[in-house]
């Protein structure tokens, strides 16, 4: 009986007693069936013809461009979304949705298994057969003269480079889909004649139209209908004393899903880059040029030869690069410290991700506003402990207006006209400032004569609490609002006029060319 119990306990706790099972390191042959839970599945994705097709359809082959940047020592955290128009990415990738699903399955399973394994940095596996030939073919697209190796291997560095490339493609696609939804929703909000209410709550759209219609009639003397429509608009969702995005927009598609998985992916991306640096500093594995000492040709060293690079270092040198800020950007601090090297930044993120801590990036400098210099401070905060959730409702933010604000400015024609004129002229009274501070959560104003400030704060709330931000962006200009508001207003008007004239000139040129 005791033997049976012992065996049951042994089977149930075997992993805990003896550690995780080894990573699969059998050679990948034509007979090997790879699944997403197997870290070697990354080889399947690299050899997939759809990846080559997607790369080819981009303005520059994704695989070649990404690897070339890496080999030239360019640490780029840009996604495709920053290199290409989002709608362009969507048009290119959408026909390959099945392949994107394969990447997603790998990121959720095989990659997780790899990056949570304690022996990952010693990993190496041979690639044979058709998959080897397809990867070599990708290298030959870059340089037809590169020699096909007799044997090809994938080690830790190869896995991590491939992982970051595939994760970048996947999350760029996700960002493009989300941006497409936002664009459609915004157009719906602005289009009075729109009948599609997929994104905008129908009642909200109707009340907004009614309010705008009333205000557009001309000088109003009776604001009773405006107050009625505003009250109805605020009552669509709780809280009923605050007009926010939840009163206007439907939950979908403003719900970010799998946020925890995305943060896991970001953790592994940052961690892997630091670990590639450690891998390349390990003189028992690589030589002083970055090539494997055992002479084995890996995917990374193959592509280094295709690019005709003298060295094969991905992260070693980049991590030691000094961060040099342009003088006009002032002082940049990360979690209260001035980072000196790229490694310093990644180490701070590595410590905080995926759900352990927070990141606070601050920048203090001066800016010119219509010939005058003003000090400003930019603060960007991410609290990963609060962001690590299955989903985040992007409507749950501090962009809103409390009912008391509407009650005050729509109380009468004098109240409305007086406030809007004082706002436009930068002549707000202390009562006006108090009204704004108390009722517009995203506005930052201080009337302290010794420390005046004007700014904006955008934040994602943690579970609906305005006093508990999960992430925020804050811009504070250290100046009196009476000084900066007229200047900002003038600058905006100048910009609008300039852009209008530019557009008119372009139209005239097009007409003359016909």
Q: How much is the pLDDT for 503?
A: 64
Q: What pLDDT score does 297 carry?
A: 97
- pLDDT at residue number 164: 94
pLDDT digits (tens, 9 = 90+) for 93-129: 888 999 999 999 999 999 999 999 999 999 999 999 9
pLDDT at 36: 96
Sign of CA dihedral 490, 494, 500, 504: positive
Pairing type for strands 124-127 and 152-155 reads antiparallel
Strands 443-446 and 400-402: unpaired
Identify the sign of the CA torsion 497, 499, 502, 504. negative
Q: What is the pLDDT of residue 69?
A: 59
Task: Give the span between the Cα atoms of 238 and 240, in whole angstroms.
Answer: 5
Distance, in Å, from the CA atom of 345 to the CA atom of 330, rounded to the nearest integer, reads: 17
64 token code pair: 């070649």
DSSP, residue by residue, 272-298: HHHHHHHHHH-TTTB-TTSSBTT-PPB
Cis peptide upstream of residue 354 (ω within 30 degrees of 0): yes
CA angle at 432 for the pair 429 and 436, rounded to the nearest 5°: 145
Beta pairing class for 358-369 and 372-383: antiparallel
Q: Which residues pair with 365 in a beta bridge?
A: 376
Q: What is the pLDDT of residue 179?
A: 82
pLDDT for residue 62: 44
Which segments of the chain have a pLDDT < 50?
Answer: 2, 4, 6-7, 9-16, 59-64, 75-81
pLDDT of residue 63: 45
Q: Model confidence over 423-476: pLDDT tens digits?
A: 888 788 889 888 988 999 999 888 788 888 888 999 999 988 889 999 999 999
Q: State whether the Cα torsion 111-116-120-125 is positive or negative.
A: negative
pLDDT, position 16: 45
């Amino acid at each position: 009986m005791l033997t049976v119990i012992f065996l049951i306990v042994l089977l149930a706790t075997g992993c805990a007693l003896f550690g995780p099972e080894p990573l699969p390191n059998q050679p990948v042959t034509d007979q090997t069936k790879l699944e997403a839970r197997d870290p070697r599945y990354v080889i399947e994705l690299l050899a997939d013809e759809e990846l080559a097709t997607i790369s080819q359809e981009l303005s520059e082959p994704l695989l070649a461009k990404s690897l070339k940047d890496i080999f030239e020592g360019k640490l780029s955290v840009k996604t495709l979304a920053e290199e290409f128009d989002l709608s362009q990415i969507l048009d290119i990738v959408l026909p390959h949705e099945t392949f994107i699903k394969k990447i997603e399955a790998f990121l959720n399973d095989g990659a997780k298994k790899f990056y949570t394994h304690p022996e990952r940095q010693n990993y190496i596996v041979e690639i044979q057969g058709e998959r080897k030939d397809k990867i070599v073919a990708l290298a030959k697209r870059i340089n037809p003269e590169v020699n096909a190796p007799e044997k090809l291997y994938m080690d830790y560095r190869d896995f991590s480079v491939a992982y970051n490339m595939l994760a970048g493609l996947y999350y760029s696609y996700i960002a493009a889909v989300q941006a497409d939804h936002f664009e459609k929703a915004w157009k719906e909000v602005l289009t009075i004649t729109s009948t599609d209410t997929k994104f905008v709550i129908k009642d909200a759209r109707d009340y907004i139209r009614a309010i705008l219609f009333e205000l557009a009639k001309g000088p109003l003397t009776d604001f009773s209908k405006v107050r009625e429509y505003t009250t109805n608009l605020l009552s669509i969702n709780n809280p009923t004393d605050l007009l926010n995005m939840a009163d206007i927009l439907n939950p979908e598609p403003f719900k970010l899903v799998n946020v925890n998985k995305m943060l896991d992916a970001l953790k592994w991306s940052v961690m892997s880059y630091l670990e590639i640096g450690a891998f390349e500093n390990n003189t028992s594995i690589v030589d002083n040029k970055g090539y494997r000492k055992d002479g084995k040709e890996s995917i990374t060293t193959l592509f280094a030869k295709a690019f005709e690079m003298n060295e094969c270092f991905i992260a070693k040198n980049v991590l030691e690069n000094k961060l040099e800020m342009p003088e006009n950007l002032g002082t940049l601090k990360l979690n209260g410290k001035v980072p000196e090297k790229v490694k310093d930044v990644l180490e701070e993120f590595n410590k905080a991700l995926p759900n352990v801590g927070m990141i606070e990036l601050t920048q203090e400098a001066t800016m010119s506003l219509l010939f005058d210099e003003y000090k400003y401070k930019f603060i960007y905060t991410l609290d990963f402990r609060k962001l690590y959730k299955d989903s985040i409702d992007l409507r749950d933010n501090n962009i809103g207006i409390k009912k008391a604000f509407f009650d005050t400015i729509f109380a009468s024609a004098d109240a409305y006209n007086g406030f809007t004129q004082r706002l436009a002229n930068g002549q707000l009274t202390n009562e006006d400032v108090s009204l704004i501070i108390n009722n517009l959560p995203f506005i930052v104003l201080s009337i302290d004569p010794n420390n005046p400030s004007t700014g904006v704060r955008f934040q994602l709330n943690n579970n609906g609490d305005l006093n508990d931000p999960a992430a925020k962006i804050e811009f504070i200009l250290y100046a009196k609002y009476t000084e900066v508001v007229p200047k900002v207003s003038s600058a905006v008007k100048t910009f609008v006029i300039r852009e209008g004239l530019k557009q008119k000139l372009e139209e005239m040129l097009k007409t003359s060319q016909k």
